[in-house]
Structure 1
């Protein structure tokens, strides 16, 4: 159960969890395409991984037309992972733009990625969507964010039924240490999860690779969150 000689597509793979997943997939011998909006970040990711197995493509994951064209260009592949998202949190009293930002930047991009991947993905392949642990344990002042993550997890189950035998799963991480320095958030999270620490991008990438390679797992949501949803 590995990715050797398989083709993996990661939308949002130039930084963070996406980049860590790309690195692990390349180590396993996969041919990896990472896509994102920033060409500079994509070039840095290419330099970081430094492998002929990695290909970069510029694409706007908030544009349905851009997503459609991307999949038409890349052709057949085995696995899709969709971690890329940028959004704003706000309470129920926030403006409509704030309330809709998570759905526009996180839900619909993954929905359309799955939609336009379908004609090109192997019947033995998989799709891994990404939500967040707030779907199960919401934080104050982020109602639409919690709802968006819950919607992604429901989407994963629905697509597992609709697209079988293609496997569809969701990874739902807690707070993860990335390039962004968020000392206050990290310290708060340590007190809210069972393992009393913030996770690493490599730990989430390990979960994603499992969902790609375990051929008997579908319709599941995996929580690499240090026990946040249980504490």
Structure 2
């Protein structure tokens, strides 16, 4: 039986791949995003909603659907860099953390009794990579909420997927040559030996969302970036 799925931040990257993965199962998928043009380009049913505003949060749930699965895949471009050049970490939390929290606060009234909520965080929360302390704080804060919310909101299940270095438009702001060099460097260091694909993260999100016996779990989909590794022989 088709289920109703809402993917917040579903117009690009992991969010879009996830929406398409649910749609391929035959589910009724709705995405949210800030750009009508991107929603139209996705070919999916969409709602223009900026989760960084109270009006945007209300708009995300305004159609009256009771959702079986909610995926929070809101991106953010702030928070990276060495500690001395970190900039405004408050702005990074305003961009990603607080929109997640406000959607989480609004969601229960619009979910089925046995629904799932899946957050998309980032592998920086679990890996000790130089230049990612701000990202680790931001995504770690979201991941720390998963267990308590899984208990508080039960029988609604709450999980998170924690992606590593994934080839998505998130990297488009980096010059192509620098991006290729970064990807090559990460691929060489990862146990998986390569950069990840958005579709691989989407598969993990669908698996968590649809497995009725998994809750309170943060699942790394990161090629092993969270594993401590010594020099290779």
TM-score normalised by L of structure 1: 0.90
Report the Cα offset of residue 215 of structure 1.
Answer: 0.2
Q: For residue 110 of structure 1, give the secondary structure of its aligned residue in structure 2.
A: helix
Structure 1 consecutive aligned stretches of length 4 or more whose deviation exceeds 4 Å:
none
Q: Report how many aligned residue pairs link the two structures.
A: 220
In the alignment, is residue 61 of structure 1 matched against residue 62 of structure 2? no
Partner of 2:156: 166
State the partner residue of 1:75. Answer: 65
* Consecutive unaligned residues in structure 1, runs of 5 or more: 47-53
- Aligned pairs for 1:4-83 (under 5 A) are 4-46=1-43, 54-83=44-73
- Give 1:200's aligned residue: 197
The Cα of 1:95 is off from its aligned counterpart by 6.1
- Structure 2 SS opposite 1:118: helix
For residues 143 and 86 of structure 2, what CA distance do their matches in structure 1 show? 25
In the alignment, which of 180, 183, 187 is matched to residue 184 of structure 2?
Answer: 187
Which of 64, 68, 92 matches 2:83? 92
Whole-angstrom distance in 1 between the partners of 2:87 and 2:224 = 32
**TM-score, normalising length: structure 2:** 0.89
| 2:161–2:204 contact (8 Å) kept in structure 1 | yes
Match of 1:50 in 2: none
- Distance in 2 between the 1:177 and 1:228 partners? 15
Q: CA deviation at 1:31?
A: 0.3
Deviation string 1:148-190 (CA, Å, 9 cap, x unpaired) is 1111111111210110000000000100012435312211211
Aligned twin of 2:106: 116
- Contact 1:60/1:67 (8 A) holds in 2: yes
Alignment partners' CA distance in 1, 2:149 and 2:14: 23
Aligned residue in 2 for 1:211: 208
Gaps of at least 5 residues in structure 2 are none
Moved more, 170-179 or 180-189: 180-189
What is the alpha-carbon distance in structure 1 between the residues aligned to residue 75 and residue 223 of structure 2? Answer: 22
| More off after superposition, 25-34 vs 88-97 | 88-97
* Pair 1:151 & 2:141 matched: yes
CA RMSD of aligned residues (A): 1.5
